[in-house]
Amino acid sequence: MVSGPVKEKSVQSVERTLRILELMAEKGNPMALSDISNQLGLKISTTHRLLKTLIIKGFAEQDPYTGKYQLGIKTFRIGNTALYTLDIRSVARPYLKHLMEKYKETANLAILDHGDVVYIDQVESEKMVKMIARLGSRGPSHSNAVGKVLLAYLSSLELERYLKSKKLEKYTAQTITSPELLKKELEKVKSQGYALDLEETEEGICCVAAPVWNHLGKVNAAIGISGPSNRISFSYIKKELAQAVKNTAEEVSLKLGYQDI
């Protein structure tokens, strides 16, 4: 365990590094080493050392002609990820509400995090018997509809990493536990544009979900509608519900700037 002067020095370095990032973000334009050093009250050598680390990690860039420094692409990626998570909830909320009100079943918005489904928003059904998931809760990806959607649009490498890191647990008699069968299922998801959970995670609960695309053309979330199997039957899904969920996800995608639907 790090303690004493070493720990204090590490914390000080982190604080100084963050101050450099904040300054460059505030100014917006490329800055000279001397300007950064003077405005933050740091030694030139200290500033140069911290900037060098930021460049190596992709958080800063140095213009080869002027020698000036600016924020690197990684800072924009992190910022976009944070903004996307915040924005998608506010954008999707009215559509989730409409979906629930029209079909009287719980509508969910979920993302993928380290191979798990994480529910980030939900509009609960007003019926006594309903499906609910606590916001922020995590669930298996291979057995539920929103999870299958999110897995289906991973790259081949990302999917292989997922399959190596996660055991495909069996929750019901319908759960897919074979990696090869899951791959076939995910191909089907992509071809039809939606995924199903027909009592694969919990007996008596069914779900249909579709992908939400962002402005970069990537699937970063999924919208699903869930409820008791006696109300959400396979025939009902095929006849009406699947298309309704697809339409809802497409509308949210367009609101987020996706243009290829």
Give which of 192, 224, 191 is closest to 207, Cα–Cα.
Answer: 224
Question: Which pLDDT belongs to residue 261?
Answer: 53
180-191: pLDDT as tens digits = 999 999 999 999
Residue 2 has pLDDT above 60, yes or no: no
The sign of the dihedral angle between the CA atoms of 64, 70, 75, 80 is negative
Residue 5 has pLDDT above 60, yes or no: no
Residue 177 is assigned to a structural domain of this protein: yes
Residue 6 has pLDDT above 70, yes or no: no
110, 222 contact by CB (below 8 A): yes
Task: Verify that 183 and 119 share a domain, yes or no.
Answer: yes
Task: Verify that 59 and 139 share a domain, yes or no.
Answer: no
Domain holding 224, by residue range, is: 82-255
Give which of 188, 206, 102, 101 is closest to 151, Cα–Cα.
Answer: 188
21, 57 contact by CB (below 8 A): no
Task: Verify that 37 and 125 share a domain, yes or no.
Answer: no
> β-pairing, 116-123 with 106-113?
antiparallel
Residue 260 is assigned to a structural domain of this protein: no
- The chain-wide mean pLDDT, for the chain, equals 91
pTM of the complete model:
0.68
38-48: pLDDT as tens digits = 999 999 999 99
Last residue within a domain, chosen from 15, 36, 71: 71
Task: Verify that 41 and 170 share a domain, yes or no.
Answer: no
